[in-house]
Structure 1
Amino acid sequence: MSVYQEIKVLTIVVIGAVLNAAALNLFLIPAKVLSSGVTGIAQLISALLEPSSFHISTGILLLLMNIPVAWAGWIKVGHRFTLYSLISVVLTTFFMMLIPVRPLTSDILLNAVFGGVLQATGVGLTLKFGASTGGMDIVAMILSRAKDRPIGGYMFALNAVIILSAGFFFGWRRALYTLLQLYVSIRVIDAIHTRYVKLTAWIVTNKAKEVQQAIYAQLSRGITKLPAKGGFTNKDKEVLMIVITRYELYELKHVITETDPEAFTNVVETTAVFGLFRKESRS
């Protein structure tokens, strides 16, 4: 990618980290409303350690918990995605140290809703530009690259544990608000980017061979080629069908734009995939 593209992605990562840190310190942490994934676990541990002399802030815990995940991602997934994810986590921790833990309102409902919206906006923007906020996003990529294991069940189980933990330690009223925050986050991420882990791209192009080679050079995904004919021009074309993860959407867009700016691409949500869809299983 060009230097301009990298600067744009880095800028979005910084903005996403600021929004994430603000959502945690101004809304979710003061209200004891837990986030999802690794961030929610970090919140829970920090809140439980708060009365003791061995208290660790949520930001530091978030960073420490992401180190082994980032290491695995660096080996299994790729350097660029993991590097930007780690930068996002480090910046989130940094901004959480700058932004005081001070609630803007004492209303738990407002904290849950606005905290969820603010955090999901940061996450959605970061995902939209080909990076992530770390944690379960890196785990999802590792599982997808390894044996295409579905991440939905793991995310559901982890979030269920977080919600039950919120109810057990902070009261079931807090658990319900945590559930509300998770729902709001999903809806906002869906509006900005997509909450579906799998996506299918249909690429209509006059440069099928070039686009196929460019995709293979960047993504470890199989491609299916289909013959097609333009309805208006009546010219022969080819359609490339590829199933990707949501984390690869930005990179796919960039590859197609650079190789064939005139290509027509339709990206649809994929609820399930049967069989492997890595490069090794080309069809």
Structure 2
Amino acid sequence: MEIIKKIIIILLGAILGAVSLNLFLIPANVYASGFTGMAQLLSSVLNDYTPIHVSTGILLFLLNIPVGILGWKKVGKAFTLYSLISVGLTTFFLEVIPVQALSEDILLNAVFGGALAAIGIGFTLKWGASTGGMDIVAMILSRMKDRPIGTYFFSLNALIILTAGMLYGWEKALYTLVTLYVSSRVIDVIHTRHEKLTAMIVTSKGDALQKAIHDRLVRGMTKLPAKGAYRGEDKEMLMMVVTRYELYDLEHIINEIDPHAFTNIVNTAGIFGFFRKDD
């Protein structure tokens, strides 16, 4: 049932992503973020400046092939498989849904296109999957070393905005910024845009929870003694840092081992020291 639910969420996310592109962003020449925006931009450049015509959906699929292969080797089969399913479904719906503007107002297209795409991305992330592209790159980087992942996201989006501005006018580039802002805010509300999160788990089943987390997430953690203020019960607090892609699995592990545990999730601005211990 969990797998079926996850695939349904991925399906709905792919539909929302395709609708946001074909009905809002592509007709207005406003660009999304990450690999989707790169595919949009490449499609526009090929269609406008060369005799080659390739759709955004096909380019999105092609861009994700090398990243998917790398993710399969470095990240894990399940995460990469769900990501590739998301990319494949998005490509399918981009080919099926016609490119047609619902409004001539570029601001409405930028806002609603960004919001719809972000709703799809947010729920996909919340259910432990991803939309591929930069999500897989972020996971690979987090597995290799604690690198400033936000720099890579910023660099790719900056390249999209600058290229769009030079080729299609700076007004389109500014509206692309509006789309990126709306997307980031909506994803923040539904899930989180922060790449790393700190989980502080107060539990009476510290050893069992520690073993389950180590078995499934391969994460280090710090154990601290804790005492419940109301009943005076002796407990433990497990403190650990996870990526946003592992939040879904962590939640399920906690509910499975100790449904009564109290967990506080906070955004992590930076880390000094070891983040992950590879086998």
Residue 53 of structure 1 and its aligned partner are, at CA, apart by: 2.8
CA contact (8 A) 1:223 1:279 kept: no
Match of 1:249 in 2: 247
Which SS does the other structure have where 2:39 is aligned? Answer: helix
Q: Which residue, 162, 165, 183 being the options, matches 2:163? A: 165
1:280 is displaced (CA, Å) by 5.5
Pairing partner for 1:223 from 221, 224, 231: 221
- Structure 1 residues 280, 71: closer, same or farther in 2, change over 3 A? closer
Partner of 2:176: 178
Shift of 1:220: 2.5
- Cα RMSD over matched residues? 1.1
Q: Which residue of 2 aligns with 1:276?
A: 274
Residue 75 (structure 2) aligns with: 77
**More deviation, 85-94/272-281:** 272-281
Matches of 1:154 and 1:208 in 2, distance apart?
37
Cα distance in 2 for residues equivalent to 1:97 and 1:215: 41
**Given the alignment of the two structures, is residue 23 of structure 1 paired with residue 20 of structure 2, yes or no?**
yes
Determine what percentage of the aligned residue pairs are the same residue: 64
Please give the secondary structure, in 1, of the residue aligned with 2:242: strand
How far apart in 2 are the matches of 1:45 and 1:235?
A: 60
Contact 1:112 1:180 in 2 (8 A): yes
Give, in angstroms, the shift of residue 179 of structure 1.
Answer: 0.6
Equivalent residue runs for 1:47-126 within 5 Å: 47-51=44-48, 52-126=50-124
The amino acid of 1:272's aligned partner reads: G
Deviations 1:181-220 (A, max 9, x none): 0000000000100011110011111111110110011112
Provide the secondary structure at the position in 2 that maps to 1:33. Answer: coil
Q: TM-score, normalised by structure 1?
A: 0.96
Q: CA deviation at 1:247?
A: 0.6
Amino acid at match of 2:14: A
Partner residue in 2 for 1:32: 29
Distance 1:148 1:254 in 2: 25
One-letter code of the match for 1:59? G
CA contact (8 A) 1:42 1:61 kept: yes
Partner of 1:239, secondary structure, is strand
- SS of the residue aligned with 1:201? strand
User: What is the number of residues matched between the two proteins?
Assistant: 278
Mapped to 1, the partners of 2:198 and 2:148 lie a distance apart of 16
Question: Contact 1:204 / 1:239 at 8 angstroms: preserved in 2?
Answer: yes
Q: Gapped runs of 5+ residues in structure 2?
A: none
**Cα distance between partner residues in 1 of 2:207 and 2:3:** 27
What is the distance in 1 between the residues matched to 2:262 and 2:97? 44
Verify the 8 A CA contact 1:38 1:65 in the aligned structure 2.
yes
Distance 1:28 1:71 in 2: 29
1:150 Cα offset (Å)? 1.6
5+ unaligned residues in a row in structure 1: which ranges?
none
Aligned to 1:147: 145
Identify the residue that residue 199 of structure 1 maps to in structure 2: 197
Note the alpha carbon deviations across 1:119-141, whole angstroms, 9 max, x for none.
Answer: 00000010000001000000000
SS in structure 1 at match of 2:197: strand
Q: In structure 1, what residue type is equivalent to 2:164? A: A
Distance 1:58 1:276 in 2: 40
Task: State the shift of 1:6 in Å.
Answer: 1.1
Q: Is the 8 Å Cα contact of residues 222 and 280 (structure 1) preserved in structure 2?
A: no
1:275 CA displacement = 1.7
